[in-house]
Structure 1
Amino acid sequence: MKIGKVSATEKSPTTNDEFILWLDDKIEIKPFDIVQAENNVGDKNSTTYAMIQDISHITDSSGHIGNYVSSDFGDLDAEPMTKRLGVTYAKAKVVHNTKDVYMPLRDGTIVEFADEAGVKEALGLENIKNPIPAGFLDVSNNIAVPICFNSDFLIGPEGAHLNISGISGLATKTSYAMFLLQAIQQTKNDVAIIIFNVKGNDLLRLDENNPLLTDAQRAAWSKTGLECKPFTNTRYLYPFKENKENFYCNTSCEKETLAEQISNNTANTYVYTYKHARETNILDLLFSNIDDPGFTMESILNVIAEKNEFEDLDWISFKEKLGENTMKGQNKGQEITVQSWRKFTRLIRKSIVNPMFQRTLSTVRDKKNCLLSDEIKKIKKGEAFVVDIAKLEEQLQGFVFGDVLQAITELKFGETERIEEDIPKKIIIFVDELNKYASGNTPKNSPVLKNLLDITERGRSEGTILFSAEQFKSDIHDRVQGNCSTHVYGRTNDIEISKPAYRYLQPTFKNMMTRLDKGELIIQNPILEFKYAA
């Protein structure tokens, strides 16, 4: 479908990177639309594809005062004797040429909408290797083009890690993450998934059919090449709480759902014993959000790990032992002061009052106790674990998150008795509210931040992949952001897009972010960049 012609002027020439086109008065276009034009040079007949960026309208008026005067000095009902000459034009960025011809388009060249095949060719989506469905690109000529990622650039080894940002409730961050993870589970048989449920209970029923799906939505799933079905091989891990009526789970999940999960043997409650926490060296995770410039907390943790007096304890006797060190005169001549021991004791007592800190694993069958890190290290190919942390305090959420990251690292580095062939080739971790664990203000000595940096910087080659989401991308640590190969942007606000995290994006793209509808996202990937409705 023809939409206009290339326009080259003295002050606005066409280049090998971009061009201007004037539009037919009846044509409607929008940013991100893909257009095409013939680019014939010598004996080479090729097609140039471009993406619409800015759209403007101009008249022959020299200024706004002239327009005011021509309307009978501001009469809103006045009809002009002669309509002004005006034209709507658009700026388009060249994205591809079929024969690698990058000579500028000539003035007067016809420009058309690209059809579905043209859009795929323009964005390099014709023969995607190892495709993972990513959604649809909706364009103005009423076509929806199925889009796929190359898995090598999404989950490694060429590129890895995904970050989704946008205003809560409007950006569909979690919904899109679940769509991608479902696509990965359906197309990859050597991948395991670990999902953190940080709020509500929407992620605690991933193995159930969604009764709200419409026929049109099911058809859209089929068009992407996916089967519209719930997750399979799913397990749920809940923090323990002494509450028999709620199946000993500290969760907001409905009792009916819990009962079904318990009967299907797909749910467990996780606890932490002192012996396990000391042996696995995870006590430091309780101090992830504590700034420790003098390394006093670290020094105390080293004492706890090394001294025999802290062996063979439980949480109660551990608190008693800490209390001894807070007494005046007990630490005379020692490097660690009584004040430091008191601060440490105050902070750790606040955390370990939670019922998931137990003396030992319960032998009561109904409690279904387990050690979380041990369960994580048993994860198999094709499984999806959901770790519920929604009802835990923020500091304990970080503790559990850090414990899982550490367990995955140990599993991937061969620090278990499992044989390598049995371990999932890739383990994908999804966490919302990433800013809680990897913001620019997170203490530099935070063990959780350290684990996240290790994963984002080395996980691509080791098979540990981070999928994350947050409301404001600008809050996230630069090194975590910088190591994500794929960025997805949902609706956000003007204040956010003014931050340095968005400086490399085109102004048009940034402005579009403030107007995206629910379900619309802008995606940036090493091999493509576009907007689509997920």
Structure 2
Amino acid sequence: MSQVGMVLGSREAKALDFWVAVEEGRYLRLDDLVYVEFPHPDPRKGSVRYYGMVDQVIKLYEGAQFDTDVFLARRDLLPVSLSYAAHVQVTRIMPEEYLPPDPGAAVYLAQEETLGLALYYDRMQEQKLPVGLLKNGEVAYINFEFLNGFKGGHVNISGVSGVAAKTSYATFLLHGIFQSSANRQKANTKALIFNVKGEDLFYLDKDNSGLNDEGRAAYQKLGLPAQAFQSVAFLAPPRKTPGDILADVGRPDASAYYWDLVQFCREGLLPFLFTDRGAMSNLGFLIDQVTERLRRLVGDENDKQGQRGPHIVVDDWSDELSTSEAHVPFDELGRQKIVTFAQLVRYIEFKLLGPESADDEEKQKGDPRWTARQARGTLEAFVRRLRASIGNVEHLVRGDKPGKRPNPLGSQAQVSVVDIHQLSAQAQMFVVGSILREVFGRKEKGDYAGRVFVVLDELNKYAPRDGESPIKDILLDIAERGRSLGVILIGAQQTASEVESRIVGNAAIRVVGRLDAAEAERPEYRYLPPSFRQRAVILPQGTMILHQPEVPVPLALTFPLPAWAMKKDEVQEDVSAEKLSRLID
């Protein structure tokens, strides 16, 4: 036991907080954990032990009355005493007897076993997941049951871009999930990561050349291996150039992903091209109607009459592309083959607005089965938005080759990294929405029994506080029902105040890096005590503030440099004899 002071007698000692006079030669810092034990007024109940965290420290001269007295005191012309005091916020009382501690009671620094009691580690037992290191060098844990969906789920990370290290900490959490003994279902755990900035996450399977001995020691302290991710698949959108379909990233072993036209229609992916369905009252209804008509056009996959793709064949429309140029098979003669997304858009325009060759607008009428009795202004607004999407997604939705959509649940790899950083905002919405809906849908059907952790940065773009969109609906579904199905969202954003409140509110684990001063005062951060909100403005890179349900106070922690490369320059070159031999051969 290491005594650091006594309960102060000149200030009120309460049942939930008290002040400590720090002994000369000892010190207390913010975030230090202490405990005090004193006898219960009823002798039959023994003693009461209080555990708490230091959330304020002060020093002042006792005996000084004026501001200038400090100069006299330093010259030994004024008799003063230096007071060093710390305010303690109680985290736990054993037993639960809410009595104020006795002034003069000895206060000890909580370490090892007593630190574990102060932070409820004893209740976590085998569910302790390491999430970083505390100021005193001890390991910080969370209860994995509040992350894996059993008692709670989802993580939300906020912080200034480039300083808060949100993506690095999200991958650090994943590393712990895959390597810690707290996760007893590692073999049935998968992760889906959306890469939104450069090619930063395309080297997760490579060791980081910048990891030093101090970093390796930190991983050893955490009980985690200092190594890169072992099972990763990399997927990227195809290049827009003609010819072979190749992934548009520098990594040669990355696979290109895209959807064929039949998949686009059958799976009802059209709504993910519209991010402003709330702009017009009837637009959402028309989107649903056209989506259903496209689904009926291609038919059911198990139906003999259903179209097999990748192109679509129709018999009520002719495009400028001739039958001979389209290479229509004999059994499809007299029908139009739609092989590009642009053609599909023109076909939808024909079904909604009628043929362009009509003499006047009065004669231009669409198919009533498609128009759903919507006004022409609504139909034209729909078509304009759809036309604008052609340049953004025509390389992602195509009819020349069978689709290769991302399939993170069916992949042999444990981690799937899906690149979207080079896509337009609309294409990013389409890709993220389409993949998340498939993952969530398959989990609802019970096609995959394990847990899926989804890492998505820039959450304010996909689920803004205002407005409606299909992707926002999917994310709300994941936030509200995902944990019961085993779909856990690890979301990140610069400003939680701009994200749909129900998504942030459903996150059991909240993490904060460096915050903007104005953002730190927003109501979304009221779960942090004032001292933590003040510190969030000056947090250095690699330091985070973490809040979890089981511990009543946030934890300030650090995490080591990722053992995996976060960009190409960090990749540790393999100079082993085996590697050199393969290169020579």
Q: Deviations over 1:6-61 (max 9, x none)?
A: 1134xx42121111112234433322110122222235245321100122234446
Alpha-carbon deviation of 1:512? 1.5
Alpha-carbon deviation of 1:388? 0.5
* Equivalent position of 2:317 in the other structure: none
**Rounded Cα–Cα distance in structure 2 between residues aligned with 1:362 and 1:38:** 73
Whether contact under 8 Å (2:30, 2:57) holds in the other structure is: yes
SS at 1:129 equivalent? helix
* Equivalent position of 1:54 in the other structure: 56
Alignment of 1:362 with 2:401, yes or no, is yes
**Residues 432 and 95 of structure 1, relative CA distance in 2, 3 Å threshold:** same
TM-score normalized by structure 1? 0.86
* Equivalent position of 2:142 in the other structure: 149
Q: Deviations over 1:59-111 (max 9, x none)?
A: 44686xx2237758xxxx98351143441212101112344444221111121
Whether contact under 8 Å (1:271, 1:361) holds in the other structure is: no
**Residues 244 and 304 of structure 1, relative CA distance in 2, 3 Å threshold:** closer
**Residues 177 and 129 of structure 1, relative CA distance in 2, 3 Å threshold:** same
* Equivalent position of 2:444 in the other structure: 413
Amino acid at match of 1:502: Y
Equivalent positions of 1:339-418 (< 5 A) are 339-354=377-392, 355-360=394-399, 362=401, 370-372=404-406, 375-379=407-411, 383-414=414-445, 418=447
TM-score normalized by structure 2? 0.79
Alpha-carbon deviation of 1:225? 1.3
Whether contact under 8 Å (2:238, 2:245) holds in the other structure is: no
**Rounded Cα–Cα distance in structure 1 between residues aligned with 2:238 and 2:449:** 27
Structure 1, unpaired ranges of 5+ = 262-266, 364-368
**Rounded Cα–Cα distance in structure 1 between residues aligned with 2:276 and 2:138:** 44
Amino acid at match of 2:140: I
CA RMSD of aligned residues (A): 2.7
Q: Deviations over 1:227-269 (max 9, x none)?
A: 1221122111111114489972223xx3xxx22x2xxxxx321
Q: Which stretch of the first structure deviates more once superposed, 430-439 or 26-35?
A: 26-35
SS at 1:521 equivalent? strand
- Report % sequence identity: 27
Alpha-carbon deviation of 1:412? 0.7
Equivalent positions of 1:15-414 (< 5 A) are 15-41=14-40, 42=43, 44-60=46-62, 66-68=66-68, 71=71, 79=75, 81-126=77-122, 128-139=125-136, 144-187=137-180, 188-243=186-241, 248-251=246-249, 254=250, 258-259=251-252, 261=253, 267-306=254-293, 312=313, 313-314=338-339, 315-324=341-350, 325-326=352-353, 328-329=361-362, 330-331=364-365, 335-354=373-392, 355-360=394-399, 362=401, 370-372=404-406, 375-379=407-411, 383-414=414-445
**Rounded Cα–Cα distance in structure 2 between residues aligned with 1:453 and 1:304:** 21
Alpha-carbon deviation of 1:304? 4.8
SS at 1:405 equivalent? helix
**Rounded Cα–Cα distance in structure 2 between residues aligned with 1:69 and 1:184:** 56
Amino acid at match of 1:350: A
**Rounded Cα–Cα distance in structure 2 between residues aligned with 1:321 and 1:413:** 33
SS at 2:210 equivalent? coil
**Rounded Cα–Cα distance in structure 1 between residues aligned with 2:77 and 2:454:** 67
SS at 1:30 equivalent? coil
Equivalent positions of 1:471-486 (< 5 A) are 471-486=494-509
Q: Deviations over 1:288-316 (max 9, x none)?
A: 24533413243144135227779734423
**Rounded Cα–Cα distance in structure 2 between residues aligned with 1:210 and 1:134:** 20
**Rounded Cα–Cα distance in structure 2 between residues aligned with 1:135 and 1:119:** 15
**Rounded Cα–Cα distance in structure 1 between residues aligned with 2:528 and 2:75:** 42
Amino acid at match of 1:138: K
Please identify the structure whose Cα radius of gyration is greater. Answer: 2
Amino acid at match of 2:494: Q
Structure 2 counterpart of 1:455, from 472, 478, 486: 478
**Rounded Cα–Cα distance in structure 1 between residues aligned with 2:207 and 2:130:** 20
**Rounded Cα–Cα distance in structure 2 between residues aligned with 1:358 and 1:174:** 29
**Residues 21 and 286 of structure 1, relative CA distance in 2, 3 Å threshold:** same
Whether contact under 8 Å (2:189, 2:451) holds in the other structure is: yes
Whether contact under 8 Å (1:14, 1:104) holds in the other structure is: yes
Alpha-carbon deviation of 1:377? 4.7
Alpha-carbon deviation of 1:429? 0.4
**Rounded Cα–Cα distance in structure 2 between residues aligned with 1:6 and 1:282:** 64
**Rounded Cα–Cα distance in structure 1 between residues aligned with 2:245 and 2:267:** 28
**Rounded Cα–Cα distance in structure 1 between residues aligned with 2:14 and 2:31:** 19
Q: Deviations over 1:475-510 (max 9, x none)?
A: 111100111100011111220111111223211111
Q: Deviations over 1:443-494 (max 9, x none)?
A: 23x1111111111111111111100111112111110011110001111122
**Rounded Cα–Cα distance in structure 2 between residues aligned with 1:302 and 1:162:** 36
Whether contact under 8 Å (1:128, 1:148) holds in the other structure is: no
Whether contact under 8 Å (2:429, 2:462) holds in the other structure is: yes
Whether contact under 8 Å (2:513, 2:543) holds in the other structure is: yes
* Equivalent position of 1:5 in the other structure: 6
**Residues 393 and 319 of structure 1, relative CA distance in 2, 3 Å threshold:** same
Structure 2 counterpart of 1:511, from 534, 537, 547: 534
Amino acid at match of 1:202: D
Whether contact under 8 Å (1:377, 1:407) holds in the other structure is: no
Amino acid at match of 2:420: I
SS at 2:59 equivalent? strand
Amino acid at match of 1:507: P
Amino acid at match of 1:122: A
User: What is the number of residues matched between the two proteins?
Assistant: 495
* Equivalent position of 2:183 in the other structure: none
SS at 2:179 equivalent? helix
Whether contact under 8 Å (1:192, 1:424) holds in the other structure is: no
Whether contact under 8 Å (2:192, 2:454) holds in the other structure is: yes
Amino acid at match of 1:362: K
**Residues 532 and 213 of structure 1, relative CA distance in 2, 3 Å threshold:** same
Whether contact under 8 Å (1:191, 1:425) holds in the other structure is: yes
**Rounded Cα–Cα distance in structure 2 between residues aligned with 1:396 and 1:183:** 32
